[in-house]
Structures are given as structure tokens and as C-alpha cells.
Structure 1
């Protein structure tokens, strides 16, 4: 769900909290080396057995982490911060809020999908074969109402009444859109 940049920004934001400029500079150096290693491994076509990860994604994440660690280092240097505080990083906070909004939207969409699936579990889909005479009647009614035969049958089924003795009937009605 998250891009390589999203993953990098989230991890750097969490890991950088409370670090001073020297520690962040070490993280930049580490990210530089890891970016170079993963890019080289990707060029050679080798796998990352220690991670069992997609080599392209891992290389992209390390490239993004390198860029994000440099951004944090530059921000701290320009702002004169003694330690990185994620709350003071307006750009990082904006990105974090955006990720959270997207995550919330994705979770809401998933919940709606699951609700639809639960509802669909109670639905009935049937293929109905009618003999010629009832089929002609249903088609004629559907034509007059401007519907397709399946819509007329759906309206019939929605109006079914089952009496106490098990008799099934449909009160008179006019099919409509």
C-alpha cells in the first residue's frame, strides 16, 4: 500500500526521533552504503537472501531512505536543532498525516468491501428456465413496463407472501422501474 518513499519517510521519522546531528550524519552514511549495496546487488541480479525481499523494492526503499536521511540532516543543520523532533518537522508531519489519511481511506474502503461481501452472502442469484408460455407472459409484462424480464422476476420475488399453511402467493402489482 505504501510507496518506497512512504516506507522510508515513516521509518526515518521514527528512527530519527531524539537523534543529534552527528547520529543523523551516521545514518546518512549508512543509508549511502546500503543504497550502493542494494543497487549493486540489483545490477548483478542476485537475491537478498537475508531479507527474502523483492530486490527492486528494497533498492528503491534504500534510495528513498538515503534521500530522507539527508533531508532530515539538512533540516536540522539549517534550523539549528540539537535533536530531531518529528513534531517540529512540518514537511515530515505533512507526509505522515497524508499517509495516515490514505491508510484510513484504505481501511474504510476495505471495511465497506467486507460489508458488501457479507451482504452479498445473503443474496440469491439464480438462473431460471421458464417454459414457453410463462416466458412469453414475463417478456410481454417486461416490454410494457420498459424492463428486462429479470427485473420483473426480481419484483415478483420481492413481493412473495408465504402464508401460515405454506402457500406461496404474490399480491397483484404493476411492475415499475
Structure 2
């Protein structure tokens, strides 16, 4: 999820594209008013249910938007721009790139998590209790192969063959690392 600053920076950068200084000053004044109003509504605990928004988050976003509009205005004055140029705003470009990278990282992590969940859904986990004789035999085979008994059982399960009549068998094999 984006922070209030991320939301503000993205929205201001897109909205400011091509605006001149008087238009930016007007939007800056509007942001100052919205910042005060949203802070007051958050303090009162007013609901923004028609927008489905958390009052405190909305107030934080307006604080960040007000600060970002000030930064854009100051940049334009310092650079002598007649209109805001997002491609010339190195700080804005850096922040936008950071957001893209964080988004890509989050999407990759989410995708990996989903893949793990799909694999886990297909896995079978079980607890197996063997009597003494098969247990000793399994431990001996595992010991000779340098494996844990569970690893030998997993290899055994991977080689199961089910015939047409439903009988289950495992062809002879040697457990390997």
C-alpha cells in the first residue's frame, strides 16, 4: 500500500503536468484549505463513508499534497519554468521510480507467495506410525543412503505405480540423495 506521501506525489505530479505558476498557486491554496478541513473532520471523527475513506488517512494525504504542491511551486520558481514539466523534476522522477520498484517488488513477493500457496495446496503432509519391524528396516535403508527416513518415504511415494485394476506397487529402486 502506498503511503500518504506516495499518493500525494503521484497525484500532484500527474495533475501539475503543464500547469503554470498561477494555476499551481491556486491548487496550492486549495490544498491548504482541504488540509485544514480534513484535519478538522478527522478530529471530529466525521465519516467519509460516501468515499469509503478513513478520515485520518485522508487528512494525512491532504497534508502530503499541500507539501508536494509547495515543493512543485518552489521548484518551478527556482528553475524559472513557465509550466511544470514532470520529466524535468528529478526529485519527482526519483520518487516515481522508487514507487515503481516497490510495486514491482511487492507484486513479485505476492506472486511468489501465491505460487507457494498453490504448491502447498497440492502437497500432502502426513504423520506415519510404523510398527517396529518396518520402522527398523526404513531407518536402516535411510542410514545406508545418508537420508532421513522421511526422505526415503518421499522417494518411495514418488515411484508409486497404480495399475488398471487399482493395485499399488513400487518398482525396485535405490534411494539417492
TM over 0.5: yes
Ranges in structure 2 where 5+ consecutive residues have no aligned partner: none
Alignment match, 1:137: 137
Q: Deviations over 1:9-57 (max 9, x none)?
A: 0000011111111111111111111111121222223322342311221
Within 5 A, what are the aligned runs for 1:74-153?
74-143=74-143, 145=145, 147-153=147-153
RMSD: 2.3
Shift in Å at residue 89 of structure 1? Answer: 0.8
Alignment match, 1:171: 172
Q: Would the alpha carbon gap of residues 146 and 26 (structure 1) be closer, same or farther in structure 2, given more than 3 Å must change?
A: same
Q: Deviations over 1:82-137 (max 9, x none)?
A: 11111111110111111111112222222233333333343332333323322232
Alignment match, 2:29: 29
Q: TM-score, normalised by structure 2?
A: 0.85
- Greater mean deviation of Cα atoms: 68-77 or 152-161: 152-161
Q: TM-score, normalised by structure 1?
A: 0.85
Partner secondary structure for residue 156 of structure 1: helix
Q: What is the alpha-carbon distance in structure 1 between the residues aligned to residue 168 and residue 110 of structure 2? A: 42
Shift in Å at residue 67 of structure 1? Answer: 0.4
Shift in Å at residue 163 of structure 1? Answer: 6.2
- Greater mean deviation of Cα atoms: 93-102 or 108-117: 108-117
Ranges in structure 1 where 5+ consecutive residues have no aligned partner: none
Shift in Å at residue 154 of structure 1? Answer: 1.0
What is the number of residues matched between the two proteins?
176
